[in-house]
Chain A
């Protein structure tokens, strides 16, 4: 099968002016993906499905990713000439920039006919609040329908052109999108038989403040056992 770069070049020849870039995967799997602009996404998807050498006739997986806003510290090396005439110094300069958050939808495409794949497509939203629309690929691959509904339900990505965009896992009156990183789940940790870690912190808010007399005095460690017993 062609590499992502080859597919991108062929797509750019076929759709001049389309926004297509390769997102490399530095991991061992090296599954590089194609990041598509919204304008040509539907046409490119149809092309990939019908293209003779690729024939990606199955969309096996659609998933969402939440990328919250994050600060990126970049270190650049700047050569500063020495005013005294000595050798130039290399100084590291740190600059901070804020990468705005966005939501991403990832499609994994396979070819049943040629038994190859996956080709991975990515679509990104403008931000995480009001520009959360991406074009739906359900008209291209029917298999996307439920999975796009799931991404809508859990991440809040709106799919333009989806035939039936409703919540699929949570109930209809549910608010917010639980797979987003900033989702706050309902606090029903009134009672934890084995509290640990983050759950302990949540459960502690529900603990009644016992009167001082109710607190059992701490057992004095006995020298025989070394105080190891609790």
Chain B
């Protein structure tokens, strides 16, 4: 495991199959990056935190029938200090949003966020109301979006697998390193205040800006 040598020299092209074959023969070949992301991706501990009906599906995913433990995420932590993953499972009302963002800020890096269900993604059926946040991604960076109303436990497991894939692709150095390994990126998100009609500010411009839409006049 000569990590320094491997990081500086050109990368050794060895496929996953070849590496697995070597492992079967008793030879463990790895790099610090591979070991790190392997460890991170297989022990993603979610925060024990639910908001609405999606939380019921999240609970179902953790129980024996769907068994999130198969993917190393069975340890639902009651404290944000011990959690890696914030599953925003349900409707985020504007009154609840500062608390969700505060929980996110209290989680140590590396941390990930899954927006589960239509409400967490965009406000869902409550989008046209006055009281529901139009997507948690207006305030905190979201890694995985799982559509559904609510998504089935299989969909949550699929989202977790996609997150694991994403973590496995992380580089531990260089310009593509994740946020917590770099100095130029802010890890905390500002908690909005309650205004007269809306949260102030109504979004975090560092993580979300409205996409520019150019519509053609086509029918």
Contacts and interface: CB of A to CB of B under 8 A. Distances in A.
B212 A173 contact: no
A172 B198 CA distance: 12
B213 A173 contact: no
A152 to B, nearest CB: 16
A152 B154 CA distance: 43
B216 A215 contact: yes
B70 interface: no
Contacts of B196: 173-175
Q: Is the interface of B mostly helix, strand, loop or mixed?
A: loop
A52 interface: no
B212 to A, nearest CB: 6
B202 A188 contact: yes
Interface residues of A, number: 29
B131 interface: yes
Interface string B92-122: 0001000000000000000000000000001
A169 B131 CA distance: 9
A185 B216 contact: no
The 7 closest A-B pairs by CB, nearest first: A190-B210, A216-B216, A185-B130, A186-B198, A191-B210, A175-B196, A171-B194
27 contacts: A169-B95, A169-B131, A171-B95, A173-B196, A174-B196, A178-B130, A183-B130, A185-B130, A185-B197, A186-B198, A186-B202, A188-B202, A190-B210, A191-B210, A198-B128, A207-B213, A207-B215, A208-B212, A208-B214, A210-B214, A210-B215, A214-B214, A215-B217, A216-B216, A218-B216, A218-B219, A219-B218
